[in-house]
Amino acid sequence: MRTPPVTERFVGEPLLPRIETADAARMASGEPGLPTEFEWRGRRVRVRACLRTWRETGPCRHGSGERYVRKHWYEVATESDGVLKLYFDRQPRPGTRGPRWWLFSACDPGPPLE
């Protein structure tokens, strides 16, 4: 029996973290504390497991040769929304106080194979 294909769809919407559910151990190591709950489109999304993490870096914006972490990425399994790719934006656009957590994409299982 073959595994059905997985379809990943772009979302690109902000998430509102439930701060009280943030992972303090990650914060102790200098990362954002990945919450286990978010609000998205007026409903609660619960993270069941963090599947993988990675960082996106970029050069210093002031001319030095240093590189800085721009985004912390997380691929998470949720209780009811499949697998989601989230990121924490360490440096939101200058002059804005916009959202820092974003839902990048969602992976929904494809149709079952016969």
Instruction: Give the residue carrying structure tokens 């200058």.
Output: 94
pLDDT at 1: 58
**Residue 59 corresponds to which amino acid?**
P
Angle at 95 between CA 92 and CA 99, to 5 degrees: 35
Structure token digits, residue 8: 């990943």
Q: In degrees rounded to 5, what are phi and psi of residue 7?
A: -105, 120
Q: In degrees rounded to 5, what are phi and psi of residue 74?
A: -140, 135
pLDDT over 90 for what percent of the chain? Answer: 54
* Each residue's pLDDT tens digit, 79-114: 888 999 999 998 776 666 778 999 999 997 544 444
Q: Which residues pair with 73 in a beta bridge?
A: 54, 87
Question: In terms of pLDDT, which residue wins out, 25 or 2?
Answer: 25
How far is 11 from 104, CA to CA, in rounded Å? 5
How far is 98 from 39, CA to CA, in rounded Å? 15
**pTM score:** 0.82
